[in-house]
Amino acid sequence: MQIAITTTTQPRPRPEGPLGFGQYFTDHIFRVDWTDGRGWHDARIVPYEPLALDPAASVFHYAQAVFEGMKVFRGDDGAIRLFRVDRHAARLADSCDKLCIPTLDAESFAAAVAALVRTDASWVPAASTGGALYLRPFVVATEAFLGVRPAKTYALIIIASPVGAYYERGFAPVRIWVEREAARAVRGGVGSAKAAGNYAASLKVSMAAKKRGYDQVLWTDALTHEFVEEVGTMNLFAVIGDEVVTPRLDDGTILPGITRDSVLALLRARGLKVTERPLRLAELRAAHADGTLREVFGTGTAAVVSAVGTLGTTDGDLTIGGGEPGPLARAIHAELTGIQSGALSDSHGWTRVLD
Ligand SMILES: *Cc1c(COP(=O)(O)O)cnc(C)c1O
């Protein structure tokens, strides 16, 4: 894939103060278009600017829109490292496939990511800040037509946002509401795709939980609401006695997190007993009652590892670990961020230094 590069003549203002998450965007974007009969064409890096889309573009009407979320890191050595780009490429392809969107091959995806990061390398935060450059690849249907069928044109775009350390205010545990009425995903649906519509559909329940003092929602299975599945943008782990449990992916209702996969590998490398299986809320409740529920944490690209201090239910709150982050959540967070930044050696082959 040839990538034409047009650099900006009007650099965007650099952020001052804390970066937060997803508030600032770099000088350039990557874009490649797809046309039926022609495939992907016109790969390019161009200055960041608003998109021109026809009001009839089918993404606005029938939501053929999928995305990815990934980070690149600057190490103490100054080098920029990409984390598991191949897995993000594969997951984007899988999300596309589920929504009848054409897929981009992994090699071209990696080339696009590398080209954009190279162009905007000066936006990758310094290692000392604990920040990263967050990349948001997305694919949308651009064809102007009304009618329910797959579009005949698409754009794959990557935007980049410098983000701060997630824990600028410390590794504070989150309060999670266990939702047992609404559902995020159903068996046979598209819950395992990073499809934009899934997030729009979750907002109402998230807002209701926020109003009651919770940070995020833990979704349960749509059929019985007895099994916990995942948090809004994080997969869930529970340490019950000497077992670390995370809900299995078999039903296609859980987003297969790349952080989840990385954390599973790190836990197994520690020789811990790690199980992917159905996890009942009742089991968490019983373990909490008999004192064996040692830790609960979420995993996702944004937070990496986020300790859960409270599980809110209609029968009251369960406080975990005295509301303090557990030792395993802390240790895995330190290990994974260490690998990502290059401070720790990467025996799993997850990182690639940008040349
Ligand atoms: C992105 C996402 C995750 C976490 O995936 P990572 O690859 O670890 O960032 C978990 N659940 C949902 C619903 C997500 O959208």
pTM: 0.97
Contacts of 203 (CB under 8 A, 6+ apart): none
CA proximity to 153, closest of 58, 276, 257, 16: 58
* CA separation for the pair 238, 288 (Å, rounded): 11
CB-based contact 246:272 (threshold 8 Å) = no
How many residues does the structure list for the chain? 355
Q: Calculate how far, in angstroms, residue 137's C-alpha sits from the geometric centre of ligand 1.
A: 14
CA of 339 to the centre of ligand 1 (A): 19
CA-CA distance, 39 to 20, in Å (whole number)? 37
**Who's near 288: CB < 8 A, 6+ residues apart?**
311, 318, 320
The minimum-distance atom of ligand 1 relative to the CA of 300 is: 8
Q: Give the chain's residues under pLDDT 70.
A: 167-170
Please name which of 210, 200, 201, 95 lies closest in space to residue 154, comparing C-alpha atoms. 95
Question: Ligand 1 pocket: which residues have CB below 6 Å?
Answer: 69, 194, 230, 233-235, 255, 257-260, 299-301
Q: What is the pLDDT of residue 170?
A: 62
Nearest atom (ligand 1) to Cα of 235? 10
Q: Give the C-alpha distances (Å, rounded to integers) separating 219 from 208, 226, 261.
A: 14, 10, 19
Residue ranges of E strands in 98-210: 132-141, 153-163, 174-179
The rounded Å distance from CA 1 to ligand 1 centre is 28
Sign of CA dihedral 40, 42, 47, 52: negative
Residue 133's pLDDT is 98
Residue to mutate (ligand 1; options 233, 253, 332; most atoms within 8 A of CB): 233
* Cα-to-centroid distance, 67 and ligand 1 (Å): 11
pLDDT of residue 17: 87
Distance 48 CA to ligand 1 centre (A): 26
